[in-house]
Structure 1
């Protein structure tokens, strides 16, 4: 297949719609909108060196896309990421290889020593990754919940002593307590990449100011006025809901607070008309997997984080 691999055009709405379509066709569990794709490119931190690539056919249609850049907040020598997606009808015709070659060349020029990529846990994708020098590292699970049919538990009434539930929207601009909670919880997530502390303004810009993150649906559990647990909602504005992050601070773990926060967010999402809820967990994150299973989530797909030395 004759292809041109080029940079994503933020000033062309057709590019954003085409790439969003590729993403939705290949990873339907993730929330993806054209507006958010443009926002990510426009607001990426300088240190991330984000580059979004598009594989274009001669007729101008998009056959695949890729995101590549430096791992944000990494505390090790230069680490890069490269995630590719190819529309089902173009698989096996050189699109993925062209995107990988362009992405790796870009990362090599940045001095990257290791590249990380998420690869679907199925035969063709696994063979493609192995052929290009990527080896499996960690497994992750996508979980789904049909909000239209799910039997969500009622929130306890009364709540446990000292516990109150809130929408993130109630915090207004006073989000530093959430930053502290998110920083602590992110540091404890299973993974093969060490991540340093993200400054508050950077965290605010790349998380809570994203156009697809919903402060009305996102939930926070306070214990005696302190942020103890939270669940972040990410939506496409149509029918899909993604749990961006759910966590409990160390001092409050083992009390069911993450489940409470997530349950409150899910119930609001259903009331707002969202039909499909998705989330993702590292396969070794037993506590969060247990929370999700108790809420009715079931596994819909798995992926592997794969690594390649450059």
Structure 2
């Protein structure tokens, strides 16, 4: 049995479907579709040098890797590789070959520091540590049973506050770009990131195939976007929160909670049966909101970092 690693072929629906299948088996808490995989490849920012990889054993796809530079970080040289192997096909060398190929590609692109998210399980952590990675920040995946769980009642917006949807900004999403960019700068993490390119944000975020504008909630205060909860949906009944945030001038007023609760109620009414979200383990305010909404932690990932010589 021979394992090879190759790049995902553009325009190949079988490759995209195989990528989704493996990711869903290895990491069922994140939404993806063949369309979203193709979009990420075709529309990736040129400076990211994004290259999804596939591991193939005798014609069968058994592993994936997302590989690229973090182009929107103010600190140059930040590389990213996330490796996942079909849980029923581990121990065949696919993970090691994917990681080595990704590391070589990123080093050739000038990366000086590599970041890789690893599930917080002994085997996965040992794999990363053996390759010279050190554990850094952790983050949780959380799940909410929309079909059988109980959401907190819908809240009425206070005076001067209005609830809208992302679809209401279809003609001019720039106010949402500004709000998204502001909240991203304060998001905890091991890599600082900035949204400065509106056209890139339109391509990568606003026109992303998973973004559901009707289920995305936007809170306006005196007509100005102040908080939001961006919703992703796949081609089934699964819902995911892409980002929830509040502008700096409006924090401490419960607006993020208001936005996310309304989005989840609309998602349930639209037929979504389970919701997923992710939180940095140190983001106590957002973890508190999600606990109030009924989410439960279902897995944890640890960012592992390796400096190149």
- Give the shorter-chain TM-score range: over 0.9
Partner of 2:272: 274
Matched residues in 1 for 2:162 and 2:244: separation? Answer: 17
Is the 2:136–2:304 Cα contact (8 Å) retained in structure 1? yes
139-148 or 189-198, larger mean C-alpha shift? 189-198
Partner of 1:73: 72
Matched residues in 1 for 2:257 and 2:127: separation? Answer: 38
Matched residues in 1 for 2:132 and 2:84: separation? Answer: 17
Matched residues in 2 for 1:109 and 1:213: separation? Answer: 33
What is the TM-score when the length of structure 2 is the normalising length? Answer: 0.98
Residue 51 of structure 1 aligns to a residue whose secondary structure is coil
Matched residues in 1 for 2:173 and 2:11: separation? Answer: 32
Structure 1 segments (4+ residues) deviating >4 Å: none
CA RMSD of the aligned region, Å? Answer: 0.9
- Superposed CA deviations along residues 115-141 of structure 1, whole A, max 9, x for unmatched, are 000000001101101111111010100
Deviation at 1:192, TM superposition (A): 1.6
Partner of 2:166: 168
- Superposed CA deviations along residues 18-70 of structure 1, whole A, max 9, x for unmatched, are 11000000110000111110111000010000011111111x11010101010
Aligned residues: 308
Residue 173 of structure 1 aligns to a residue whose secondary structure is coil
Matched residues in 2 for 1:106 and 1:171: separation? Answer: 39
Partner of 1:149: 148
Alignment of structure 1 residues 250-265 onto 2, 5 Å: 250-265=248-263
Partner of 2:227: 229
Q: Where in structure 2 are there 5+ consecutive unaligned residues?
A: none
Q: Where in structure 1 are there 5+ consecutive unaligned residues?
A: none
- Superposed CA deviations along residues 69-115 of structure 1, whole A, max 9, x for unmatched, are 10131111311000011001111221100000100010011011010
Deviation at 1:220, TM superposition (A): 0.3
Deviation at 1:275, TM superposition (A): 0.8
